[in-house]
A and B are shown apart, each in its own frame.
Chain A
């Protein structure tokens, strides 16, 4: 078990390093000059050269990369003479745009994104599992058919359309909720929910539809398994047959999906954050990408990769915990 964990963690570190290297190379190959970006458009050539020197851009690519990776763990002192800056741990460099430390930029916006992601995940899991289980237990009834048609609709509607309809109906027409803006959970929990419920639904709807369909087929399949028949043959009541013997294995498959989707939520959050102008990491990423703000984009890419690989590990461990067959001896 320990050996397995160590191997997985080494694997994660390796994966992140490779992602980091690929992103680094891509930016290196881009025609934009980071020194010009940092210094500004009307920067005189000698100043640009100085900045380049300061940023260590004259060193070979491998050295630059090694410095970048090292800085994440050990911090880094940049520049010479009066321009010396110390960037403390964890150092992801400074934004070309604002000059602020990348780490601070991300951390400032992370609560918004995390709120959005967790809320959306809760909405889609509840909605998806609920609809899926009800549909499966009432297989081929009108309830099932109606729900399944609805899921096709929900999956087909584009996110920006959902967002606009929700905003128009709930905020503009009915005036039930304020126009979404970010309120910290710690300062006003009710306001937090009120402001984020529309983004949550927007972000969750299509995924919930997919989960509903997957849950339905998974539950139907499991209820046809011989071990469910054995549970009935034991004389267990139907509630235990379905709840304990049927649903648990069915939901294992769904839980696996969930882990992977949580990791990649950031991509979905990017669009939703932009649509509702929420100051999250996704929006920061979109903005930085536009302006070729390399340090910020790199930082967020690494962070997102980190979330994806660790959530995969968590799911695998969870899976082994639920299904004894997957347990490692």
Chain B
């Protein structure tokens, strides 16, 4: 059975400047033992999506369906969602220094979650905290558990954040830019750790990031978001070798690459996407990408501006893209 099934998820909140439709109907599944990568730029709605799944969207209107292993979370009592949160689905945040509480020891913060969900004794919960800290590769876990977040290095802090997420043996982990604040050598360690945990424990992982390299390393399936909607969905190999949506292509073309360029170091010029990401307050009509789209610039179509194109299958194995241009829309 699918671990997490999200259907037509929409998130709106009202601000002083007007209604913001941050997520406009997103569908995806997460299976046990697989990693779904959600990639997008600022304002794409990728982080809001993850918070909505966890029920952490405060003051926002959430509609659609989030089915966690047979339990519908949208419209469910707060208590139902709370009992799942941190227990069966856990979250890893970007900056562990601000995401961990400065006043409590690492051990206390991990033990607290365990006590909350299992009603375990102080001693048992502490032992569990030390155990998971060891699991994520923190040396001398018994001693480090008694230290505070500011006494940890950046990499160790993010490991502690992962240990906190793991402490109640969750089935789903949502990682929101977990390595963005880390140096690249430390990022490699943390990504390896997450992959290992996924393999060993059969976790379902949602990896949210702006970094296509991170997606390529860890994701089995990928969802590309732009302006609050999913514009392309495919398994990772298909997405990187045969991207179908012009935004995904543009993103890959605009990326400087370590694995490109001749022996003389000659680099092909980057093909940047013109313009800027859309405003959430006054998004463009129709396809949110059309003002920046090379296909629209070459051959403008009414369908691009009339309505938001739906995500349709463009290749077998479930490769889907949301574009009305025939060379993208038709199956190959």
Contacts and interface: CB of A to CB of B under 8 A. Distances in A.
A325 B148 contact: yes
Nearest to A322: B103
A237 B82 contact: yes
A3 interface: no
A31 interface: no
Using C-beta atoms within 8 Å of the partner chain, give the interface range for chain B: 20 to 34
B100 A230 contact: yes
A226 B149 CA distance: 14
Contacts of B112: 234, 236
A168 B71 CA distance: 65
A110 interface: no
Nearest to B115: A236
A233 to B, nearest CB: 4
Contacts of B116: 234-237, 240
Contacts of A229: 56, 93, 99
A104 interface: no
A243 interface: no
B7 interface: no
Nearest to A249: B103
Contacts of B56: 229, 232-233
B85 A235 contact: yes
The 4 tightest CB contacts between A and B, nearest first, are A235-B86, A234-B86, A235-B85, A234-B113
A33 interface: no
Interface string B74-108: 00000000111111001101010011111100000
B117 interface: yes
A251 to B, nearest CB: 11
Nearest to A323: B103
Given A230-B164, A235-B117, A325-B150, 8 more contacts: A225-B98, A226-B95, A229-B93, A233-B85, A234-B85, A245-B101, A322-B103, A324-B150
Contact of A231 (B84, B101, B148, B150): B101
B103 A230 contact: no
Contact of A324 (B91, B93, B103): B103
A237 B115 CA distance: 12
Nearest to A329: B151
B225 interface: no
A227 B85 contact: no
Contacts of B98: 225-227
Interface residues of A, number: 20
A323 B101 contact: no
A248 B103 contact: yes
Nearest to B95: A226
Contacts of B101: 227, 230-231, 245
B54 interface: yes
A86 to B, nearest CB: 54
Contacts of B91: 230, 233
A193 to B, nearest CB: 35
Most central of A225, A234, A245, A249 by chain B CB within 10 Å: A234
A235 to B, nearest CB: 3
Given A225-B98, A226-B95, A233 B103 contact: no
Interface in A197-248: 225-227, 229-237, 240, 245, 248
B113 A235 contact: yes
Interface in B110-124: 112-113, 116-117
Nearest to A232: B56
Given A323-B103, A325-B102, A233 B82 contact: no
Contacts of B84: 235
Interface string B126-153: 0000000000000000000000101000
Nearest to B83: A235
Nearest to B90: A233
Given A227-B100, A229-B56, A324-B103, A235 B87 contact: yes
B58 to A, nearest CB: 8
B54 to A, nearest CB: 6
Given A233-B90, A234-B116, A324 B82 contact: no
Nearest to B54: A233
Contacts of A232: 56, 85
Contacts of B103: 248-249, 322-324
A236 B117 CA distance: 8
B181 to A, nearest CB: 12
Contact of A230 (B83, B93, B117): B93
A224 to B, nearest CB: 9
Contacts of A235: 82-87, 113, 116-117
A327 to B, nearest CB: 9
Interface in B245-280: none
Nearest to B85: A235
A127 B90 CA distance: 39
Most central of B90, B103, B116, B150 by chain A CB within 10 Å: B103
Contacts of A226: 93, 95, 98-99
B85 A323 contact: no
A226 B97 CA distance: 9
A233 B90 CA distance: 7
A323 B86 contact: no
A127 B96 CA distance: 36
Nearest to B84: A235
A239 to B, nearest CB: 11
A329 to B, nearest CB: 9
B102 A249 contact: yes
